[in-house]
Amino acid sequence: MTGKRRRFDQECVEGYLFVRRPLRVLLFRRPPARGRIWVPISGKVDRGDRSFSLAIRREVAEETGFRRFRRVSALRWVFPFRGPEGGRWRLHAFAVELNSLSTPRLSDEHDAFEWLEPSTAVSRLHYRDNRTALRRLLRSARVDRRRRVHRATPNLKRSRRGPRARGRRTRNL
């Protein structure tokens, strides 16, 4: 294996905006001149962006007016693709959790928005890589919700014998 690093002509970010209760995803529709397709927030990483996380925060603020987030986390989904004129571009996906179902201020990049149930949001996305990234977010949101429910349940008497012994019971005869 050689020590060659892949070079990309442009780094990009995309953000999947969502709220947990109830679990909803915010999608945006591009205007007719840009295909009239439903997409997450996305944009190029600028030279002034110190990190991909800061780049997605900037893009969300520019395209929606939202500046306060409950959490911004990388989905660990990176997608290389061919940009305009055949350039090598790479997209980094982020989950952007908002505090509530808010109304975005639309930029000229979008002509509509909609808060959607997860399955509807997945089916509405135009690009396959967007659907894959959103499914990744939804899996992690559901797992996190289960963990929170587990932590909220009272701590019933648990076995100290370890995870394997929990399923076994001894019968006293």
SS (H, E, C) 81-119: EECHHHCEEEEEEEEEECCCCCCCCCCCCCCEEEEECHH
pLDDT of residue 142: 74
Q: Residue 86: give its domain's CATH number.
A: 3.90.79.10
Question: pLDDT tens digits for 96-117?
Answer: 999 999 999 999 999 999 999 9
- Asked whether residue 72 is assigned to any structural domain, the reply reads yes
- Asked whether residue 4 is assigned to any structural domain, the reply reads no
**How close are the terminal C-alpha atoms of the chain, in Å?**
63
- Asked whether residue 41 is assigned to any structural domain, the reply reads yes
pLDDT of residue 146: 52
- Asked whether residue 5 is assigned to any structural domain, the reply reads no
- Asked whether residue 144 is assigned to any structural domain, the reply reads yes
CA distances from residue 132 to 44, 151, 156 in whole angstroms, order as listed: 20, 29, 38
pLDDT of residue 140: 87
Q: Are 94 and 18 in contact (CB under 8 A)?
A: no
- Asked whether residue 160 is assigned to any structural domain, the reply reads no
Its pTM stands at 0.79
- Asked whether residue 158 is assigned to any structural domain, the reply reads no
Count Cβ atoms below 10 Å from residue 125 Cβ, excluding itself. 22
Count of domains forming the chain: 1
Residue range(s) defining the domain that contains residue 16: 10-151
Identify the residue with better confidence: 149 or 126. 126
- Asked whether residue 24 is assigned to any structural domain, the reply reads yes
From CA 132, how far away is CA 115, in angstroms rounded? 19
Band of pLDDT at residue 144, cut at 50, 70 and 90: low
Q: Give the position of tokens 């996906």.
A: 93
